[in-house]
């Protein structure tokens, strides 16, 4: 999950080749149109994402794996992005890339289910190996995260938009990201994560925080002090007071266990 140092110009040339260079087949308006909405992905999320009393959403991978119709619907949703023009830096394209990342991740788990972790069977993880056709070319999950979302948009909120199918990852939402509500929903996702123990745990000696703030510290300002500032921006009043009382980051934590709804004893009805 390392960032490849490419300029945005080079990246755009690689990921979004000009029509005719790689493929001379004429494309229709329907083939190049960005999906206007993500209703089918929202339907699947509402069906298979389960809230719980501990504040962490889980996914009913077993249920989705057992439904040929919904697996076909997931495949069809992902296929919509194959030739769509996703090159512009817009909220609509951010939403599309984030939704696509999450949908492909869910499909990857369903294809291999049951597993205990997304990293099962890999030395470090599947992110460079799992690929999908999108924006007119083949891209990996790693490329979507690092070469597209982080490189193009470059905001900390990227890390609250994508889900790695793990307990310690920010929640997979029960609805698709949509451009009209993107900022509001990303802010809510950041607050939900930071105010949960897997995001920040306060101890008498200082803070235990998610490894996300270590792996991607550059996205949060490049220092522990800037990470703390980011946490305070989204922390509730009580948590913010505790952070200010002892803002030292002691350690980083992360649990790669699968965010599997099968582990839930008492799901919370939406």
The reply to whether 159 falls in a domain is yes
> What pLDDT score was predicted for residue 264?
79
The reply to whether 134 falls in a domain is yes
Low-confidence ranges of the chain (pLDDT < 70): 1-36, 265-270
How many domains, in total, are found in the chain? 2
- The tens digit of pLDDT for each residue in 196-212 reads 999 999 999 999 999 99
53/171 same-domain check: yes
> What pLDDT score was predicted for residue 26?
41
Which of 144, 175, 206 lies at the terminal end of a domain, its last residue? Answer: 175
Q: What is the pTM of this model?
A: 0.86
> What pLDDT score was predicted for residue 263?
81
> What pLDDT score was predicted for residue 3?
39
200/136 same-domain check: no
Contact 84, 96 (CB under 8 A): yes
The reply to whether 60 falls in a domain is yes
102/207 same-domain check: no
What is the C-alpha separation between 259 and 122, in angstroms, rounded? Answer: 18
> What pLDDT score was predicted for residue 25?
38
The reply to whether 262 falls in a domain is no
- The tens digit of pLDDT for each residue in 161-200 reads 999 999 999 999 999 999 999 999 999 999 999 999 999 9
165/221 same-domain check: no
45/120 same-domain check: yes
> What pLDDT score was predicted for residue 224?
97
Domain span at residue 242 reads: 195-257
> What pLDDT score was predicted for residue 134?
98
The reply to whether 190 falls in a domain is no
The per-residue b/e assignment along 83-107, b for 16 or more CB within 10 angstroms, e otherwise, is bbebbeeebbbbbbbbbbbbbbbbb
Residues 6+ apart with CB under 8 A from 249: 206, 207, 209, 213, 224, 227, 228
200/87 same-domain check: no
> What pLDDT score was predicted for residue 37?
77
The reply to whether 269 falls in a domain is no
């Amino acid at each position: 999950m390392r960032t490849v140092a490419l300029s945005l110009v080079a990246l755009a040339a690689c990921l979004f080749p000009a029509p005719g260079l790689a493929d001379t087949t004429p494309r229709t308006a329907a083939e190049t149109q960005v999906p206007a909405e993500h209703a089918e992905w929202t339907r699947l999320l509402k069906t298979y994402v389960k809230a719980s009393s501990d504040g962490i959403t889980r996914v009913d991978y077993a249920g989705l794996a057992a439904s040929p119709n919904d697996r076909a619907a997931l495949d069809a949703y992902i296929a919509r992005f194959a030739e769509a023009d996703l090159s512009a830096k817009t909220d609509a394209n951010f939403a599309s890339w984030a939704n696509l990342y999450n949908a492909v991740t869910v499909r990857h788990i369903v294809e291999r289910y049951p597993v205990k972790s997304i990293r099962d069977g890999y030395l470090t993880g599947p992110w460079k190996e799992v690929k999908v056709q999108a924006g007119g070319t083949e891209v990996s999950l790693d490329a979507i995260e690092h070469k597209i979302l982080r490189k193009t948009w470059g905001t900390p909120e990227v890390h609250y938009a994508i889900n790695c199918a793990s307990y310690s990852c920010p929640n997979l939402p029960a609805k698709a990201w949509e451009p009209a509500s993107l900022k509001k929903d990303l802010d809510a996702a950041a607050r939900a994560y930071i105010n949960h123990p897997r995001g920040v745990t306060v101890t008498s000696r200082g803070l235990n925080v998610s490894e996300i703030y270590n792996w991607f510290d550059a996205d949060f300002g490049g220092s522990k002090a800037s990470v703390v500032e980011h946490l305070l921006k989204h922390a509730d009043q009580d948590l913010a007071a505790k952070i200010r009382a002892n803002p030292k980051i002691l350690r980083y934590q992360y649990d790669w266990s699968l965010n599997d709804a099968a582990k839930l004893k008492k799901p919370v009805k939406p």
